[in-house]
Amino acid sequence: MTQAPATPRAARRKHDREIVSLAVPAFGALVAEPLFVLADSAIVGHLGTAQLAGLGVASALLTTAVSIFVFLAYATTAAVARRVGAGDLPSAIRQGMDGIWLALLLGAGVIAVVLPMAPFLVELFGASDTAAPYATTYLRISSLGIPAMLVVLAATGVLRGLQDTRTPLYVAVAGFVANGVLNAVLVYGAGLGIAGSAWGTVIAQCGMAAVYLVVVIRGARRHGASLRPDAVGIRASAQAGAPLLVRTLSLRAILMIATAVAARLGDADIAAHQIILSLWSLLAFALDAIAIAGQAIIGRYLGADDPQGAREVCRRMVQWGIGVGLALGVLVVVARPAFLPLFTSDSAVKDTALPALLVVALSQPICGVVFVLDGVLMGAGDGPYLAWAMLLTLAVFAPVALLVPTVGGGLTALWAAMTLMMTIRMLTLWLRTRSGRWLVTGATR
């Protein structure tokens, strides 16, 4: 007897269960990552202002360096998920190992650059004479953990592609706890100061990478996948990641332009901008969790030669993005009187931030659609289009943002320009998904 097709409601429930099961643990892992810096700041802050300032400069450099290579997670997720959908687990894990080998090679290259250039980089970022020695010390030691950090990115992509976001959550939480304990012991117990904080973080990162490698290696042995480096596979991973690198660099350029414009507006504006940007980044974690689910699920459907299923789950995730965006927008409006005093008591900063926060709140449904469709196209391996779309967005945003100090409107106008930027991204992503050109099926794109 032929089984009756699923009703639309049953299909939605199935998609909802998949999205929630992947997005909720992914959100927890995303939130755990910035807590590393928060824990370091809390511990180092008691050493003195110069040490904390040095940590701030070094952390900014490290965060920038690592965020550039986030494509290791994105590209690996999509490639592995396709092979999972095609039912070829050995090939999926083999693809994941290629990403991990690429991470190790890139990590070694970053160390080779950062170690000798640490004093120059610290000076370039404007560290004061008192903070520079601490920043250099922290940067040099922490750079030794960059290969581990990149392995964590690539291995996280492997597990996401395998439809597992719980293991990354457990590893992230364990890493955060270990980092806090090691920092306290090495900074105060061993008396190593800021160097102890750096070593504690490096050890925690290496521990996280080791756990991931154990998990991936066990999977490789279970399914008979090779662990040896493969030049062709590594090159393919790099080629898949290159467009996503362009996308990420373009996005970083947008954020840097926004900060530079805010600095030109005045002290109150740049202070308010930093507060709002921190909130915007926090809200992005919730939306990015849905995008991560999109990467994994879409890749699997396309690998299974099911373009209709990919379309349906894309549509449902967009609805999720809009819904979560609306909820976040309402939360920002309701919480803003209580939120701002957590960061500043300066009335000028509060008065500057309040109207700009309303713009941020209104833009959240747009952000929800952008994050979801970004994840969908990443899961489809549509990196070249994402790169060109982000370059176009940068080309439109830059002149508009740079005109803000001349035209007027202050920080509110700048965040209106940021909303314009997200609207352009939404339109370019919507046009692509509507065209159906991203629906390329098969184990490889």
What sign has the CA pseudo-torsion 23, 25, 28, 29?
A: negative
The CA distance from 91 to 141, in Å, is: 36
Neighbouring C-beta atoms of residue 5, cutoff 10 Å: 8
Please report the pLDDT score of residue 18 as a whole number.
Answer: 87
Closest by Cα among 280, 292, 344, 297 to 74 = 292
Closest by Cα among 290, 378, 330, 334 to 21 = 290
Query: Tens digit of pLDDT for each residue in 228-239?
Result: 988 998 998 999
Give the CA distances from residue 353 to residues 279, 343, 397, 404, 411, in Å, rounded to whole numbers and listed in that order.
Answer: 11, 11, 21, 16, 8
Amino acid found at 259: T
Q: What percent of the chain has pLDDT over 70?
A: 96
Owner of token pair 């965020």? 67
List the Cα angle 160/422/172 in 5-degree steps.
30
The CA distance from 291 to 26, in Å, is: 10
Is the CB of residue 303 less than 8 Å from the CB of residue 84? yes
Tokens of 24: 């909720």
- Provide the residue count of the chain: 445
Is the CB of residue 82 less than 8 Å from the CB of residue 165? no
CA atoms within a 13 Å half-sphere pointing along the CA-CB vector of 68: 11
The CA distance from 73 to 159, in Å, is: 10
Neighbour-count burial of 354, counting CB atoms closer than 10 A to its CB (0-12 exposed, 13-18 middle, 19+ buried): middle
How do the pLDDT tens digits run along the chain, 445 residues long? 344 455 677 778 888 888 888 888 888 778 776 667 667 777 887 788 788 888 878 887 887 777 888 889 999 999 999 999 999 999 999 999 999 999 999 999 999 999 999 999 888 777 778 888 988 999 999 999 999 999 999 999 999 999 999 999 899 889 989 988 998 999 888 888 889 999 999 999 999 999 999 999 999 999 888 889 889 989 989 998 999 999 999 998 998 898 888 888 887 888 888 788 878 888 888 888 999 999 999 999 999 999 999 999 999 999 999 999 999 999 999 988 887 787 777 788 888 889 999 999 999 999 999 999 999 999 999 999 999 999 999 999 999 999 999 988 889 999 999 999 999 999 999 999 999 999 999 888 7
Query: Tens digit of pLDDT for each residue in 175-229?
Result: 989 988 998 999 888 888 889 999 999 999 999 999 999 999 999 999 888 889 8
Neighbouring C-beta atoms of residue 233, cutoff 10 Å: 20
Q: What is the 3-state secondary structure (H, E, C) of the chain?
A: CCCCCCCHHHHHHHHHHHHHHHHHHHHHHHHHCCHHHHHHHHHHCCCCHHHHHHHHHHHHHHHHHHHHCCHHHHHHHHHHHHHHHCCCHHHHHHHHHHHHHHHHHHHHHHHHHHHHHHHHHHHHCCCCCCCHHHHHHHHHHHHCCHHHHHHHHHHHHHHHHCCCCHHHHHHHHHHHHHHHHHHHHHHHHCCCCHHHHHHHHHHHHHHHHHHHHHHHHHHHHHHCCCCCCCHHHHHHHHHHHHHHHHHHHHHHHHHHHHHHHHHHHCHHHHHHHHHHHHHHHHHHHHHHHHHHHHHHHHHHHHHCCCHHHHHHHHHHHHHHHHHHHHHHHHHHHHHHHHHHHHCCCCHHHHHHHHHHHHHHHHHHHHHHHHHHHHHHHHHCCCHHHHHHHHHHHHHHHHHHHHCHHHHCCHHHHHHHHHHHHHHHHHHHHHHHHHHCCCCCCCCCC
Q: How far apart are the first and last CA of the chain?
A: 36
